[in-house]
């Protein structure tokens, strides 16, 4: 007796296709987000942004002081270092707070979207398991 092929379950094929598309489009992002708690994920994403912005601000401040010393010909011994330090510190803190706020909102949104997609993915897995059980 020849062994025949099992009938194709169109619903199961459709679910597997949706799962494969999810893995292709969002798998890596969702895996990263699912590996952490929400605030840990946001902190991890923000930490690299904060360091990058901080280094960028140091470079900007370096060129600002280079401009003051070289172009404006201000004598280094007559600069008000206290005032310059306070200005620089306020500038750096304000920009870092702005980037932290933007990064936190963005990370929260990304994490929430990822969790919704993961819930949909898990629901499809359950549906696929139920379809295979019905065969």
What pTM was estimated for this model as a whole? 0.70
pLDDT surpasses 80 at 105: yes
What is the arithmetic mean of pLDDT over 32-47? 87
pLDDT surpasses 80 at 85: yes
Contact (CB, 8 A) for 103 and 43: no
What is the arithmetic mean of pLDDT over 110-122? 92
Q: Which residue has the tokens 């270092």?
A: 81
* Average pLDDT taken over every residue of the chain: 87
Buried b (16+ CB within 10 A) or exposed e, 42-67: bbebbeebeeebeeebeeeeeeeeee
Nearest 5°: the CA angle 13, 14, 16 is: 65
Contact (CB, 8 A) for 44 and 125: no
């Amino acid at each position: 007796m020849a062994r025949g092929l099992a009938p194709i379950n169109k619903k199961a094929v459709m679910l597997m296709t949706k799962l494969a598309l999810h893995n292709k489009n969002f798998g890596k992002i969702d895996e990263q987000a699912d590996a952490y708690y929400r605030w840990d994920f946001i902190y991890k994403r923000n930490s690299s942004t904060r360091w990058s912005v901080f280094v960028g601000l140091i470079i900007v401040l370096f060129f600002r002081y280079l401009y003051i010393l070289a172009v404006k010909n201000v004598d280094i011994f007559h600069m008000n270092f206290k005032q310059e330090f306070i200005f620089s510190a306020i500038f750096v803190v304000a920009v870092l707070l702005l980037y932290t706020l933007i990064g936190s909102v963005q990370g929260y949104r990304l994490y929430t979207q990822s969790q919704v997609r993961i819930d949909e993915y898990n629901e499809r897995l359950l549906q696929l398991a139920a379809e295979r059980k019905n065969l």
